[in-house]
Each structure stands twice: as structure tokens, then as C-alpha cells.
Amino acid sequence: MARRGTSSSFPGVCGCCGALRPRYKRLVDNIFPEDSEDGLVKSNMEKLTFYALSAPEKLDRIGAYLSERLSRDVARHRYGYVCIAMEALDQLLMACHCQSINLFVESFLKMVAKLVESEKPDLQILGTNSFVKFANIEEDTPSYHRSYDFFVSRFSEMCHNNDDDLDIRNKIRMAGIKGLQGVVRKTVNDELQANIWDPQHMDKIVPSLLYNLQYAEEAESRSPSPLQATEKEKESPAELAERCLRELLGRAAYGNIKNAIKPVLMHLDNHKLWEPQIFAIRCFKIIMYSIQPQHSHLVIQQLLGHLDANSKSAATVRAGIVEVLSEAAVIAASGSVGPTVLEVFNTLLRQLRLSIDYELTGSYDSAMNIGTKIIKEHEERMFQEAVIKTIGSFASTLPTYQRSEVMLFIMSKVPLPSLQHAIEMGKTGVNRTRLIQIMLLKSLLQVSIGFQCNNLLSALPSSFLDPLLCVSLMEDGEIRLFVLEILISLMDRHGNRHKFSTISTISDISVLKLKVDKCSRQDTLFMKKHSQQLYRHIYLSCNERTNIHPHYEAIYGMLAMISIELANEEVVVDLIRLVLAVQELALTNEDNLPVYNRCALYAISAAYLNVISQLTTVPAFCQHVHEVIEARQKQAPYLLPEDVFLEKPRLPKSVDHLEREVLFLQSKISEVLGGSGYNSDRLSTPYIPQLTDEDRLSKRKSIGDTISLQVEVESRNSPEKEEKAPAEEITFETLKKAIVDNVAVEEQERERRRQVVEKFQKAPFEEIAAHCGARATLLQSKLNQIFDITIRPPPSPSGTITAAYGQPQHHSIPVYEMKFPDLCVY
Amino acid sequence: MEDYDFLFKIVLIGNAGVGKTCLVRRFTQGLFPPGQGATIGVDFMIKTVEIKGEKIKLQIWDTAGQERFRSITQSYYRSANALILTYDISCEESFRCLPEWLKEIEQYASHQVVTVLVGNKIDLAQNREVSQQRAQEFAEAHNMFYLETSAKESDNVEKLFLDLACRLISEARQNALVNNEASPLPGEGTTISYLNCCNLN
Ligand SMILES: Nc1nc2c(ncn2[C@@H]2O[C@H](COP(=O)(O)OP(=O)(O)OP(=O)(O)O)[C@@H](O)[C@H]2O)c(=O)[nH]1
Ligand SMILES: [Mg+2]
């Protein structure tokens, strides 16, 4: 029985050979010199080539014979002859016409296989080189039954070579990589051949390349930038592997992406390469830059799928995947999300929720197995941060309209107390709700950062603002702050926000170099529609005793942002009125606020009036503000931000009994603004926050009567309109349409309603009586004008929006009830 | 013109350090390598043997036992004609992992695959942790052949591969009969496609 070495493979002559050596054999024999050192006999090689070309039908025999000789020489360790045979084969291959190659290839591949399966590195490399040459020949006739199985297996194995000699190891590995590259090139475009994209091949090729790529990470001592390594520099397996990977991915068609990416995920899993994410990120950068851009969303989807599959893996692993997603999203840019915008965000939000649950319950499965894996709270936190960051990355790739839809979507997931959402009770329930609220608002904040939204009106519909501004999100200090920050970052479209990050009373705001554009028509409409909500939110936020320094900064920032981004004359007057009310809040102190809070309110009033007076450039206004500030500096520095917003605020025992000159006076401001042409009448009626729908549910009665008066007026004017808003039937689509189409009308209505409600609430009876008739006709005529210039209100359901203001209660649909049918098909 | 009548692919699997590489090298090179390092990914060896006048070429793929190479090693199961599932008789742990390996086989290997269970390192009999009987029963329960070896002392190594080769030949013949013609084995298309050269030419 055979023992060591190649056993009894007896060289040479098959039984079929006759006494006369055929011509082709003689020609082949002649190319081999007596002494293999002399190399290929060139002149005889020419003869052989000539013969092969003139008698291509003999090619298969020539190949077979050469192959036979080569096998024999390998077995006898006559490597000189092996090289000569290979050289001859290469030359024949190059010289032959495409059509005839097929006859020849089988024996050629056998020879290559013979070489690469040998144990000698030199032969492996020799064989690989020939294979690579062959791979670069473009054949035009397909071959049906070539199997590259062995080559894929063996080249992959060579990629893992672990020879003690580093030089040999690198050489073999590089040969392996080149071989794989060759197989890919050879087969990738030929549907008849072995499908290189099959998992059985991809699962070998991809990890082998990654292994070499990763190896470079480990032994990073080479050139500083592998990307810039020139051809001349000695190439490393890592560089070669990277190029090969890029080429492979670049050739992947739509249907192949999955099979190519799957092994990457597997490799990263198996080698635990998600944790220090550097390598994983690098891999996916290569992937994203190499694949055809229209496929990038497939990669994203696969990563999302992988994230879901790893729902119960350690937080660090999940965080790694999410980080990679974030990086990949940025590269894929607009294409990253692909056709399923909401699915991407849905997955991320789901993971966020899951993680919160893990954190709270301390286990991956609250029902079963207790503590099989220990949840590390801080790791879950890190994961949550990573998810939020990734949500931001994705959002930043979206066009405006999708971005606001995403915000709407996230908002719809924020748990709010309502009939639809039974908020969980009990301590953990409350805790959970709160955590989810925080995480989702953080996500929103992330999405809103850098969101240059030109049209706030369409970007921030009521369905978004209403829940965001609802009272229940105001009670918790941390949550309240997020809401303010979100609003600020949405409003700040000129990057002015940071200029107001410290609250101060600087004497000349021109040093801030504010960037201001004229308030656009949409912005004006936005304010018409939502200003009361915003004012109210600011006012109520001011009155919270749990406020700390950051809250006041945010309130101040928000006032400043509105003034810069969204203000016209009317808004300016409103804001001043609001801030005067805030001062009043501190002064009367009905809610018994602590001294710090009251001082803070005085201080932000001063800071804001300082800014707005300079923005209005009304000298007398500036003068008044300046005087009050000066007076405070002398008598009551604790009413100025410079003294209040310190690490250790310098506060008095009490802030009651303030002198008149340290206060901003409504009468004075009315006078100076009126003198400059501002319509400052309204300042004389102190600001009181408007009731929202929420409040109205409980307090409807008190204002219901007032409004019913308006309903009559309205219905007389447009009898064809329905009175009842079919709220349940309003879909997102119609709502959107309604908002876009009927903006002007709706705004006008809202505004009018607001004014009416306010007036009737606050003004003395005589005034109401006096105004009632005049006002109604005035508004009516204005309304008529608008109806004339805008389209006729459609008679069908979508038109009902226009009539909705007549309702005592403008019923907005809870966001979480809404369907988003059109989002899913973008 | 080919120098063999049959070609078989054999893949060795099993926990890290049980001696897979040593078994292969003992068989192909006739030596017991001192200080054999852990296998990276996969290793490849060729050995042609002659049984009853027929040349059988054995392509031996030696996989890494380390967990982190699982994905690359799994991809080699599929085309295997035979698997050698190895454990170390002096290491209980390597035996206890066998069910996991069987799961892998189930998942990745062809259904026709012939599996041999090998308990290696019998030269370390004084440290034996897995009894022969236990292993025998396990092998029977899972329809495997069973053998104990020592790569170090060269016990049963030759027998392991040669018996396996015989079994593969008879299996291949049977298959060829069943499917008449020389249609390929199911599972792996090209196992015995390189038949005797003189038949073809
Ligand atoms: N005493 C003894 N030691 C052995 C035997 N076979 C292998 N070893 C030793 O066991 C250790 C591991 O052997 P390897 O062949 O590298 O193990 P492996 O299964 O290939 O390990 P991986 O490549 O990591 O999967 C080495 O130190 C060998 O010297 C044997 O039959 N007897
Ligand atoms: Mg090994």
C-alpha cells in the first residue's frame, strides 16, 4: 500500500500510444531542453504554436499531453520542467483564438490544479499566476461544465496560509487572493458557469478576503495610508484583499448583494468584530463605496435585519451594528433608506424600546430565564445613544419632506396620556414611559439638528406640534428641556442659536453678527397658525418651579429664535407682551415660586427685552430697556442674568417690594412702540395663555358660548359647508393636502378665532359689546376677500377643514391613530 | 492521463487542539509535528493512495477548531464526501461539544456525507476522560463509524483514512449503479467525474 510521497503514479505512456509518436507529441517534447536550466526552447515553441494555430482541433491533445508531462514532472520534483510546461501552456493560451480555447481549457485547469494542490509554495504561486492570466482572457464562447469549486476552496485556503516564514506566508496569501480575483473575473459575467454568487462560494471568498483585511488591522505597522500605496511599493495581502473585495462588490448585481454581504456579517459575528467597531466600520465603508449606489439600501436593510436578529445579543454588539449603520447611511446618502423609509426608523425605534426594556427589567426575556445573561445598564445606555445617533444619520440623508414625515412618525410613537394610549401605571410603568419619551425626544432632537426647513408650515403640522407641546410633556424637567431644544433647533435655520447660549444683557448686539433673512410668507403663516401655542408653551414653561439654568437658557433661546426667524411687527409686539407677562408672573408670584426662579424670570425678561429692543431699533425703546437695566445694576443686580445665571447665583433673601424703576413698564413700552408706528394697543391687555384643545375638553363650557356666536356668522356666510368636521375620516393624505391647499384660509380662520376667543375672554363686557359688531364685519370682509383670491373651497370632505374653525373644538386627530399609507411607498 | 481513479474530499472537524492537524500530517507526511500551532481557517493536503490497484486521491481539508473561524470552515462542509469528527479522549469537554458539531453537520454538510467519529490521543490513556464504550454508543446513536487513534504513536491513523477510502469507493460504486451511467453523486457534483483517463481518451 502506498506510503509516503506520491505513490505509484507511473509516468508516461498510456496504453493507447502506438509505436509512432504523433506529431503533436514530438512538437511538445521538443520544447523541453536537455537541461531544464536552459529554459523553454523558443524556436521549437514557435513551431508548436504555429502547429496549434493551424490545427486547432489538435489543441485538446496538445493540452492533454502537456498536462500529463507536467504531472509527471511535479511528481518527480523536476520543477524546472514544470515551469517550462507552464510557460508553454500560457503562451499557447495567449496565442489561441477564443473559440478554440475551450478545447484546451480542461487540461489547462487540470495542470493549474495540480500545481496549486502541491505543497510547494513556488508551485502554488506558479499555478496561481497562470490561472490569473487565464482569467483575464475574455472568452466569447461559454463553457458549460467547468467547475471552479476546487479553485475557490483552495485559493480561499491559501488566503489563510500560516507558514512560519512571513515572506512565504504573504506570498501564498497574495496568490490566494489573486486566484480568487481570477475566479471572480472568469465567472462573474457568465451565467452559464458556476454561479460565483452562490453562498457556497461567497461564504469562502468573502471571509478569506476579510481575514486578510483584518490581518492588516492587527499588524498595523506599515505605510500610514494603505489607500495611497503606489504600485511600486511592496503590496501587502491586505491591500490586495481590499482591492479584490471592491472589485467583487462592484460587480454584484441587485440579486447578488445579499449573498455577498451575508458572509461579511457572519465573519464579523464569528470573529467578534462588532465591539471595537473599527474593523466593521471599515468593511462597510469599503462595501458602501464599492457597490453600485442604487443597491446601497439593500445593504442597509441587511444590516437592519442583522440588528433585529441580534436583538438579544450583548448591547455592545448591537451598538456596533448600529454604529456601522450610521456610517453606512452617511455614505449611501440619499439612497440609503430606499423604498422603505419608515421601516428603517421603525426598526431603530423598536430596538430603542427593546433596550429600554432590557435596562429596566435587567433581562432579555422578562418572562423566562432569569439572568442567563447579565444586562449591563451602562452598555444599554450606550446602545441607546448609538441608535439615536444613527436615527440622526439616516434623517440627515432625507429630503425635507421625508424628514418632517419621519419627525411626525417618531412623534407618533411618543407615549402620551390619552384615551387611545393607556399609559402604563405603577412605578416601572411610569419609569418606562418616561424613558421612552426621553429617548424618542432625543431622537427627534437628533433629527431636527441641521434640518434646514424652509417651510415650517408644512414641515411642522399641528399633528406634530400639538402632541409635542402638550402639557404632559411639560411636567418633567428633563423632557421639558428636550421639547424646547427641539423647537429651537427647528426654528434656527441660520445658525444663530449658539449666539444666545449665554443669557446676558450685552449693550450692543451687533457683536453677535446675527444672520437674519426676511421672514417668509410661509413663516408668517406658520406664526399665524401656531404662535399662540408657542407663546403659551413658553409662558407655562416659565412658571415651572423645577426649572434650572438650562431651562432658562432654552426659553431665552426660543424667544430669541422666534424674534430672529419668525417675527414680523405683530409677532414682535406679541413677544414683548408675553415677556411682560413673564415679568408679571415673577412679580405677583401667585404660584409661590422660589426666589431663584423669580430672579431668573426677571433676568430672562431683561435679557430678551434688551435683544428685542435693539432688533426693533426703536431708540426710545432701547432707552427704556437700558435705563431699567442700569437701575437694576445699581439697585438689584440679582434681577439681571449676569448675577442669576452663575454657578452660585447671587440672590437676595426676598424679591418682593421692588422699586418701579427696576421693572419694565408696559405703559412706557406701549408708548414708545406706538410712537414708532407699531400697533401696540394689544400690550394694554395683559397676556394670558390661550386654552388648548386639551384644556377645552374640560373647560369647554366657559368659552363655548363665545364661539357659538362666531359659528353663526360663519355658517351664514358659507352655507354649503358642513358644520361637523368628520375627524375620524381625515387621513394623512387629506390632511396634508388640506394644509397645503388651504393654508391661507385656514390661517386666517385660526387667527380670527384666536383673536375672538382672546378678546372675549379678557376684555371687559362693554368692550366686547362695542367691538362685536364692527369686528365681525371687518373680519367677514377680510375673509371674503381671501375666499375670492384663493380657490373656491371644495365642497367635499377635504373642504371641511376650512370650516373647522367654526367648531367650538377644533378636533385634531391623535397622531398615533393616523395611518401613513403614502410614506411606505416612497 | 489523470493519475487517479477516484477523488474524494475529506474534511476534518472538531474542537481546537484535539489533534486534527497532527492526524493529517501524520497521514500525509508520516510525521508528528512538534509544537504544531493552531490552524488558521483551513489547511489543505493531498494524498494519493492505492487500494486494490485503484488510485484514490484524497483531498484533505483540515479546518480550524477555533470558534472564530466557524464561518469559513462551515463553507467547506458542503462539498465533503466524508467528515472526520475528532475529539480528544483525554478531554471531556471536546467530547461534550460533539452534539454541537453534529448540529453543524446537519446544517451545512450534504446528506450523503460519511462521518467518522475519531477519539484521538490514545497514547494518553492514563488521562483518559472519555471511555471507549461511551464514545462507541454515541457513534452508533448518530450513525457514525468510530475509531480511536494516536497521531503521536501513529496508531490507527493509516487505518482511519484507508478504511474511509474503501467505504467511499463502495459508496460511489453503489451510487453509480443506482443512478446507472456515471451521473454525479447527489450532494457534490464532481466527486467521481474524473474517471480513469483511458476510458475517456
Ligand atoms: N499526546 C498526543 N498529543 C497530540 C496528539 N495529536 C495531537 N496532539 C497534540 O495536541 C495539540 C494540538 O494538536 P493540533 O493537531 O494542532 O490540534 P487541531 O485539532 O489541529 O487544533 P486546531 O487547528 O486549533 O483546530 C498539539 O500540541 C499536539 O502536539 C496525539 O495523538 N497524542
Ligand atoms: Mg489544526
C-alpha distance from A108 to closest chain B C-alpha (Å): 13
Average pLDDT over chain B, rounded to whole?
Answer: 86
Using CA positions, which residue lies closest to atom 30 of ligand 1? B121
Give yes or no for residue B25 CB within 6 A of ligand 1.
no
C-alpha distance from A348 to closest chain B C-alpha (Å): 27
Among A191-195, A228-232, A593-597, A822-826, name the one with the lowest average pLDDT: A822-826
At residue A98, the pLDDT reads 60
Pair A150, A113: CB distance under 8 Å:
yes
The verdict on B178 touching A (C-beta cutoff 8 Å) is no
Tell me the CB-side half-sphere exposure of residue A492, using CA atoms within 13 A.
24
User: How much distance in Å is there from the Cα of B119 to the middle of ligand 2?
Assistant: 15
At residue B8, the pLDDT reads 94
Which of B21, B148, B153 to mutate for ligand 1's pocket (most ligand atoms within 8 Å of CB)?
B21
* B57-110 pLDDT tens trace: 999 999 999 998 998 999 999 889 999 999 999 999 999 999 999 999 999 998
Torsion of CA A494, A495, A499, A505, to 10 degrees: 30
Higher pLDDT, A118 or A101: A118
Residue B102 to residues A148, A202, A243, B13, B117, Cα–Cα distance (Å): 28, 23, 37, 10, 11
C-alpha distance from B48 to closest chain A C-alpha (Å): 6
At residue A376, the pLDDT reads 75
State yes or no: pLDDT of A497 exceeds 90. no
Give yes or no for residue B154 CB within 6 A of ligand 1.
no
Give the distance, in angstroms, between the CA of residue A286 and the centroid of all CA atoms in the same chain: 19
Kindly determine whether residue A160 and residue B42, on different chains, have CB atoms separated by under 8 Å: yes
Among A504-513, A550-559, B107-116, name the one with the lowest average pLDDT: A504-513
C-alpha distance from A165 to closest chain B C-alpha (Å): 13
Among A31-45, B74-88, B110-124, name the one with the lowest average pLDDT: A31-45
Pair A481, A555: CB distance under 8 Å:
no
At residue A801, the pLDDT reads 36
Kindly determine whether residue A207 and residue B61, on different chains, have CB atoms separated by under 8 Å: no
* Ligand 1 nearest-atom number relative to CA B120: 31
Which chain B residue's Cα is nearest to A3?
B49
State yes or no: pLDDT of A100 exceeds 60. yes
Provide, as residue numbers in chain B, all residues whose Cβ is less than 8 Å from the Cβ of A119: 45-46
Measure CB to CB from residue A4 to each of B29, B45, B190 and give the nearest one.
Answer: B29
Tell me the one-letter amino acid at A745. V
Q: How far is the C-alpha of A636 from the C-alpha of A672, rounded, in Å?
A: 25
State yes or no: pLDDT of A389 exceeds 60. yes
User: How much distance in Å is there from the Cα of B62 to the middle of ligand 2?
Assistant: 7
Higher pLDDT, A431 or A705: A431
Q: pLDDT grade, residue A772 (50/70/90)?
A: very low
Q: How far is the C-alpha of B49 from the C-alpha of A9, rounded, in Å?
A: 10
User: How much distance in Å is there from the Cα of A61 to the middle of ligand 2?
Assistant: 41
Which of B27, B28, B36 to mutate for ligand 1's pocket (most ligand atoms within 8 Å of CB)?
B36
Kindly determine whether residue B68 and residue A270, on different chains, have CB atoms separated by under 8 Å: yes
Among A370-374, B29-33, B192-196, name the one with the lowest average pLDDT: B192-196
Residue of A571, A537, A546, A658 lying closest to A606 (CA atoms): A658
At residue A403, the pLDDT reads 85
State yes or no: pLDDT of A794 exceeds 50. no
The verdict on B199 touching A (C-beta cutoff 8 Å) is no
Kindly determine whether residue B72 and residue A4, on different chains, have CB atoms separated by under 8 Å: no
Higher pLDDT, A397 or A826: A397
Average pLDDT over chain A, rounded to whole?
Answer: 77
At residue A194, the pLDDT reads 60
Q: pLDDT grade, residue A3 (50/70/90)?
A: very low
Per-residue b or e along A271-295, where b marks 16 or more CB atoms closer than 10 Å to that residue's CB: bebbeebebbbbbbebbbebbeeeb
Among A223-237, A241-255, A732-746, B28-42, name the one with the lowest average pLDDT: A732-746
Which chain A residue's Cα is nearest to B44?
A157
Residue of A790, A743, A322 lying closest to A522 (CA atoms): A743
* Ligand 1 nearest-atom number relative to CA B155: 31
* A223-253 pLDDT tens trace: 444 444 444 346 788 889 999 999 999 988 8
- Rounded to two decimals, the ipTM of the complex is 0.82
Which chain B residue's Cα is nearest to A2?
B49
* A140-175 pLDDT tens trace: 666 666 778 899 999 999 999 988 888 899 999 999
* A362-379 pLDDT tens trace: 777 655 554 455 667 788
